[in-house]
Amino acid sequence: MARKSGVDGPTYLNGNRLPQSAYKMAQESSCINEDFTGFMLCKAFDVLSNGGFKRHLIQSRDRGDAWAIQMHAQQNRITQECKGIHAKIAHLLDKTHNAGWAQICKDVMSSAQPPIKVFTGYSQCAITGENLSYSVDLSRNCKNSHDVHVHLRFWHFFILLWFTTKIEYVIRSCTKQWVEANADCKQAKEGMTALCERFKETNQETVRQMAQLFKMAIDYVNNSIDLYQEQFDVHPIIRPPASFFEV
């Protein structure tokens, strides 16, 4: 029997529901991810300076300035988190039984637009094969592409997958919107340092929320991929007791 096509809440790719307690804990966490804060400010300052901040950061790091060493390290750690997602998907593409949905993940990560299109009408879920009347349309808008639809419960995973792997694009877009919303920035005679300080001061809450969202998203995506992969791993049916290995 086909499953109900309604939205039942966040779901891992192996079909298990995300424990609501864990989801609530991640959402309500008051901890600010310092690495992400440094990463976001670095990318935002680079937009405000038309690429000049990146050179300034490298030069300051090479001089041994503590703030630059810290920000550069924070940037690298967040970048590695994002690369880790890419690496997991690339690894799964090599496995025949995972290649289908792994290719869907790869297409979502390479898309310029977030997966927010909802399709109304008959379709089949590309992950579970169930019949749907509503679905998320992940089809690519290019020649020779085919329709790809997934159950609405998987939207949470794919939107967070896109967010985590396109985080630099998201930050740059947010920064450009801030500049456009503050028309005086374009005409201001203040130095670049003052402009960056103004951005930091007026966007403290945005940075805090983005940091929390990124932490929740990276944990959710990693856990979802790991749990999905586990069902295909080969585990020994019989395991000897720990005492067997004692000398």
pLDDT of residue 237: 47
Binned at pLDDT 50, 70 and 90, residue 236 comes out as: very low
- Reported as type and span, the H/E element at residue 150 is strand 149-150
Closest CA to 40 of 228, 184, 245, 213: 213
pLDDT of residue 187: 56
pLDDT of residue 141: 74
Does the pLDDT value for residue 159 go beyond 80? yes
Does the pLDDT value for residue 70 go beyond 90? yes
Task: Report CA-CA distances (Å) from 151 to 23, 82, 212, 241.
Answer: 20, 25, 26, 42
- Separation between Cα atoms, residue 136 and residue 54, nearest integer Å: 38
pLDDT of residue 226: 87
Helix 99-110 vs helix 66-93: angle between axes, to the nearest 10 degrees?
Answer: 140
Q: What pLDDT, in 10s, does the model give residues 102-154?
A: 888 999 999 888 988 889 989 998 888 889 898 999 887 766 677 888 988 88
Alpha helices by DSSP H, listed for 144-203, are 155-165, 167-181, 184-187, 192-202
Distance spanning both ends of the chain, measured CA to CA: 53
List, edge to edge, every strand of the sheet that includes 149-150.
118-124, 131-137, 149-150
